């Protein structure tokens, strides 16, 4: 490789580092703005004001606040996946997995909220929009596979795993969002409600035919 090639490679590497840093700056700013103003009230200009980037630089990475929110959702899912995997590896049956997974998820939500807003803030931290990003889809597949395995290991019922995984995620997400709106936040109570709702419904589910 010539010195010219090495220089081009170095410059390309620096450009990628700059792009990654700018994306992180935008996401960090957006997380704070959404927490302080609420998703609906926040604007792209509010996000840009919290960075040292120009309007043009922002639009090099994201076209709207919706895209920024999707990127935040993707980032959160990416960071939560190894935590979720650890709960699966520590569980021998469905009940243990569901309890550990939901407890880990709710504590993750609380930590995320605490990182961007004081506990006394009344602004909505989690807007009621659904961004099904690639990482979130990966979480769904991970939950589906983990549920299937722990049910089989625990000789659980044969049920529709797509529906079951979707229901577990939906219950955990909706109860978790409401939990964050309450003061004081009571993680154990929210965990117990979600877990018992899932476990109580499982016996009544229709069984798959052999």
Tens-digit pLDDT profile for residues 153-172: 888 899 999 999 999 999 99
CA distance 89 to 169: 19
Q: Helix (H, G, I), strand (E, B), or coil: what is residue 2?
A: coil
pTM of the model: 0.78
Torsion angle, CA of 81/84/90/93, rounded to 10 degrees? Answer: -130
Task: Write down the pLDDT at residue 210.
Answer: 75
Distance, CA of 45 to chain centre: 25
Of residues 54 and 122, the one with the higher pLDDT is: 54
Torsion angle, CA of 205/100/138/111, rounded to 10 degrees? Answer: 130
pLDDT, tens digit, 9 for 90 and up, residues 53-79: 999 999 999 999 999 988 888 888 889
The torsion angles phi and psi of 117, rounded to 5 degrees, stand at -155, 150
Residues whose CB is less than 8 angstroms from the CB of residue 191 and which lie 6 or more positions away in sequence, other chains included: 99, 102, 103, 106
At residue 128, does pLDDT exceed 50?
A: no
Q: What is the DSSP letter of 24?
A: H
**Structural tokens at position 120:** 């006394």
- End-to-end CA distance of the chain, in Å? 62
Long-range contacts of 130-133 (CB under 8 A, 24+ apart): 131/66, 131/69, 131/70, 131/73, 131/74, 133/70, 133/71, 133/73, 133/74, 133/77
CATH of domain 3-204: 1.10.357.10
CA distances from 174 to 47, 123, 180, 196 (A): 27, 17, 10, 15
Whether the Cβ atoms of residue 187 and residue 110 lie closer than 8 Å to each other:
yes
């Amino acid at each position: 490789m010539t010195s010219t090639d090495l220089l081009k490679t170095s410059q390309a590497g620096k450009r990628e580092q700059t792009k990654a840093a700018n994306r992180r700056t935008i996401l960090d700013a957006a997380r704070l703005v959404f927490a302080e103003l609420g998703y609906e009230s926040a604007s792209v200009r509010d996000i840009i004001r919290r960075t040292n980037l120009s309007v043009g630089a922002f639009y090099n990475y994201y076209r709207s606040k919706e895209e920024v929110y999707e990127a935040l959702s993707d980032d959160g899912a990416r960071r939560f996946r190894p935590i979720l995997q650890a709960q699966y590896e520590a569980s021998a049956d469905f009940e243990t997995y569901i309890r550990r997974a939901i407890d880990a998820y709710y504590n993750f939500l609380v930590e995320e909220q605490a990182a961007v807003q004081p506990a006394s803030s009344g602004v909505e931290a989690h807007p009621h929009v659904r961004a099904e990003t690639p990482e979130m889809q990966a979480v769904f597949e991970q939950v589906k596979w983990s549920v299937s395995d722990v049910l089989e290991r625990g000789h659980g019922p044969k049920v529709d795993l797509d529906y079951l995984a979707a229901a577990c995620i939906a219950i955990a997400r909706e109860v978790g969002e409401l939990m964050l709106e309450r003061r004081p936040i009571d993680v154990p109570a929210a965990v117990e409600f979600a877990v018992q709702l899932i476990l109580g419904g499982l016996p009544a589910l229709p069984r798959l035919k052999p």
